[in-house]
Structure 1
Amino acid sequence: MTEEKQDVGAELAHIEHAVTDASQQLSLKDIGSERVPGARGRDSSESPSLRKAKTGFADSEVRQAVGFGFASATGGYALIAPLLGAINAEIGPDPNVVWVGLVYLLTQTVIFSIVGRLSDMFGRRWFFITGSVLGLIGSILGATARTIPQLIGAEVFIGSAAAFQISFFWVIAELVPMKWRFIANSGAYAFTIPTNALAPKVAQAFQTQTSVRWRGCFYFCIAINVVSVACWYFFYHPPTFKMLHRRRAARDLLLHFDWLGLCLFTGSVLVFVMGLSWGGSVYPWKSGHVIGTIVAGAVMFVVFILWEVYLPLKDSEPFLPIHLFANLQYISAAALTAIGAATYFSFSLIWPQCVNVLYVGLSDSYKGTLFGLVTMGFVFGQIVGGFLATLWAPKPGLILCTCIGGPLLMSAAANPLNMSLTMGLITTGALFIGMQEGNCIAMTTFPLRSQEEIGTAGGLSGTIRSFGSVIAEAIYTTILANRLARTIPALVPAAAENAGLPATSIPALLTGLAGTTNLTAAAVPGLNANIIDAAGAAYRLANSQAYQTVFLASFAFGGLGMVLCWFTGGVDKSKDDFVAGHIHKHKEERALEEERG
């Protein structure tokens, strides 16, 4: 009797194992029963049209659409950010110039998830054509701007376009075999070298060596977007709505979609991020504008989660599947992309300020090179990381990069006045964090319940990534401002008075050192060369102490990354040759839509 029970148990285990294998194969090969056979994922060897993807890339024209779009998304702000002071002096001055950067981050943070979710449902083609068209419109508006409000309006379009164009990582991911996703992303990052890694140098060249000056940055983006729009339109033909939904009409899907969830999510993210962005720049942190928007955004997000969990309309299509938030491997990878992006955006903002204040006697050309060290290290890390993850197991490489990059950036606090040491640590740290971020952004596309959700998951990870950038930027700028408010009064007045400056001239001296007014004897009574030298040295020391604190604070993100990297998922070798999506020729569209099976 016992042996019989054991035989039955073994048979049941065998059946369970077989069913599990079958369900896993179904989740890969039959991505949603709604899709026609030609729109389902498959092994790359099963179709001649997919075999060429074994090289790791989709059609070259689609690669160009993705690459040029991504280049435009980064260049739309990275090219003009180093020149905002000169731009404000020419078409301003306007205190609202801070909104140029704010709206760029705000719009893409909100739109990322909308692009991913809706393109999963309705098809991708027109979403990405629209994205590059928005980038083209924004670049034209930027090139013709005559006031700062007009420039802000241009960045609204450019930031909105960036949400489409920076979604490259999951658009590429579904067109290549899983094993080539990392290296395919590296190819896209290479397109951004002139608009991101070398953006400060390119921007400076336009400003100093052309007659159009800073407007040349937007002319450059216009050209890039024209190419991107053309490539998307003529060569990108992913599954249409009819291929994705054999049994549902567009009207039915629109009526049953969770539009309230979309509004709650969008509103909560927009309001919360706006409050964070305002804090310390537009309004003081203790102001009602900042506190009110942060609290309102947080409450709205709680309501959104409750709505998605207890969705009363059971037959409706949720905006964000709630199971994504419970997927530890996915959330860990998405959070690590946010930490990487936080390093990129924050250090790209803080480091140029550090160079301007601490290192004197440098030419403008050399300063332009130093300004770009963070972006150079980060982008080249993203490129190299994809190759290394393909050659080596990605998770061990991710852990290694995270555990090296964070401590290196923190170590820049050793002596900020030592330019060679500091720029070496920051550049190397940015290189490793770039490798980490580039690998993690690809890893968010793997641990999904179904590859049918790759756009939804990619859009959410894009929102998380941008959200982390805003948080880090707010934290770093606040720490820097608070520390400078203490270190400068503690060091500079005493040094200036000891050198012979009257106490009544100290306020004028401080504004002069900050660059707000002229640092001359007429503006600062009693000023002479000895006082300038003594006060300048004290001012640099005070700033170096403030930047030390900022660099040390960066480990709050780096340390969190060193914990999260252990929870990310590896890559299942059994799925190496699986391709989640496809593109087809326009003339094949009708036949594919009418497929049955």
Structure 2
Amino acid sequence: MSTSDPKVIAPLVVGIFGSHNGRDFTAPFIVAFIVTMFYYGLNVIYPTMVNIFYLTPEISRGYELALSLPGNIGLVFGAMLLICFGDVLRHYWWTLWISWAGVLFWGGMMAMATPSNKGLIIAFAFLEQTFFGWAQYLSVAFTQLGVHQHDLGMPGGLAGVARYAGGSLAQAIYVSIMANAQSARFAATLRGAAISAGADDATATALLAAFPLGSAAIADIPGVNEEILAAVGSAFQWSYAHALKITALSSLSFGGLGLICCFLCENIDGKTNQTTNVFLENDVNADKIEFH
């Protein structure tokens, strides 16, 4: 029976997931799976917010590029904080759930996004990704160090699976939530906005049908003026504000489950030391290998 045989692999994987009632690997695996969902969630919410609320034809390319930096800088900053201070602070179990709580809190605060609070939301995006940068890489460490060093390879591979699978699932969920919430809200508010700006019922109905088709279709509608377009444009932005809110709040359900799993994780303080459990066959310490 080869090592690639399912009869060999299946018991190994099941054994890892069941180790110590799931606290050694299953709980950290779920944490690593869900934490990536916050990264992709912000990468759905923040660029949409920038494109809909803040970018205009007058905005320079340099300023447009600068708007893309807060989340990316926050991620790197959080990861660097873990690298520089993680071993100094230790207490990894505490820093895992504290950093996770920060991701959950600031991710939820992204629900406050509106067309008029750019500075506040940029700060929230930076803070969310700072906590994410710490929580992301620490969750991988928990996933790999939860099991014995002899089993290090398999948890490492499964940790990678958790990150990519969580990201793919998150993108599908968040894009779907945002699209559905925005279209429903815009359909409900466009007519009222157009009529309040002076459009008649027929013009409002025509605008509702033409808006998804672009500016050329809107220009062909009789009776449309700048005031009506401004009102409809404002309704369009606020429909996205509503969709962003729903999308950000939807992340809290995943985050709550992840926070529970953080509490269930085994502490890894005792394993973050200079002890080597696995040696190479061609190493000077090959005689210390338990299994050849």
TM bin, normalised by shorter chain, reads 0.7 to 0.9
Give the number of the structure with larger relative contact order, counting CA–CA contacts within 8 Å between residues 6 or more apart: 2
Normalised TM-score (structure 2): 0.84
* Residues 559/574 of structure 1: CA separation in 2 closer, same or farther (3 Å cut): closer
CA distance in structure 1 between the partners assigned to 2:168 and 2:18 by the alignment: 23
Q: Distance in 2 between matches of 1:436 and 1:500?
A: 52
3-state secondary structure, aligned to 2:3: coil
Q: Which runs of 4+ in 1 moved over 6 A?
A: none
Show the 5 A alignment for 1:557-576: 557-573=254-270, 576=273
What is the aligned partner in structure 1 of residue 141 from structure 2?
Answer: 442
Please report how far the alpha carbon of residue 360 of structure 1 lies from its aligned counterpart in structure 2 after TM superposition: 4.3
2:267 aligned counterpart, secondary structure? coil
- Ranges in structure 1 where 5+ consecutive residues have no aligned partner: 1-254, 262-310
Structure 2, gaps ≥5 residues long: none
Partner Cα separation in structure 1 for residue 184 and residue 62 of structure 2: 32
Structure with higher Rg: it is 1
Q: 1:329–1:317: structure 2 CA closer, same or farther, 3 Å change rule?
A: closer
Question: CA–CA distance in 1 between the matches of 2:131 and 2:109?
Answer: 14
Distance 1:355 1:388 in 2: 33
2:3 is aligned, of 247, 257, 280, to 257
Q: What is the deviation of 1:435?
A: 0.8
| 2:13 aligned partner | 321
- Alpha-carbon distance, 1:574 to partner: 6.7
User: What is the deviation of 1:363?
Assistant: 3.1
Q: 5 Å matches for 1:50-449? A: 255-259=1-5, 261=6, 311=7, 316=8, 318=10, 320-327=12-19, 328-361=23-56, 362-392=59-89, 393-417=91-115, 418-448=117-147
The question of whether the paired residues in 2 share the 8 Å contact of 1:258 and 1:319 is answered with no
Q: CA deviation at 1:487?
A: 0.6
1:191-239 deviation per Cα after TM superposition (whole angstroms, max 9, x unaligned)? xxxxxxxxxxxxxxxxxxxxxxxxxxxxxxxxxxxxxxxxxxxxxxxxx
- Secondary structure of the residue that 2:152 maps to in structure 1? helix
Question: For 1:465 and 1:534, how far apart are their aligned partners in 2?
Answer: 42
- The one-letter code sitting in structure 2 at the alignment partner of 1:390 is D
Structure 1 residues 567 and 518: alpha-carbon distance in aligned structure 2, compared to 1, 3 A threshold: same
Superposition map of 1:5-44 within 5 A = none
Alignment CA distance shift 1:536-1:578 (3 Å)? same
Secondary structure in 2 matching 1:329? coil
Matched-pair identity in %: 23
Find the aligned partners of 1:424 and 1:548 in 2 and give their Cα distance.
Answer: 16
Change in 2 beyond 3 A, CA 1:390/1:530: same
1:534 equivalenced with 2:215 (yes/no): no
8 Å CA contact 1:336, 1:561 repeated in 2: yes
Deviations 1:38-58 (A, max 9, x none): xxxxxxxxxxxxxxxxxxxxx
Aligned equivalents of 1:358 and 1:574: distance in 2? 48
| SS of equivalent residue, structure 1 residue 257 | coil
CA 1:523/1:438 → structure 2, altered by over 3 Å: closer, same or farther? farther
Equivalent residue pairs, number: 278
- Residue 463 (structure 1) shift: 1.0
Alignment RMSD (CA, Å)? 2.8
How far the C-alpha of 1:485 sits from its partner, in A, is: 2.2
Structure 1 residue 510 corresponds to structure 2 residue 207? no
1:437 and 1:577 mapped to 2: Cα distance? 23
Q: Could you list the per-position Cα deviations for residues 358-404 of structure 1 after superposition, in whole angstroms to 9, with x for gaps in the alignment?
A: 22434333232223432332232122123322111211111211122
Distance in structure 1 (CA, Å) of the matches to 2:169 and 2:196:
41
String of CA shifts for 1:161-193, please: whole Å, max 9, x gaps.
Answer: xxxxxxxxxxxxxxxxxxxxxxxxxxxxxxxxx
Distance in 1 between the 2:221 and 2:209 partners? 6
Deviation at 1:567, TM superposition (A): 1.4
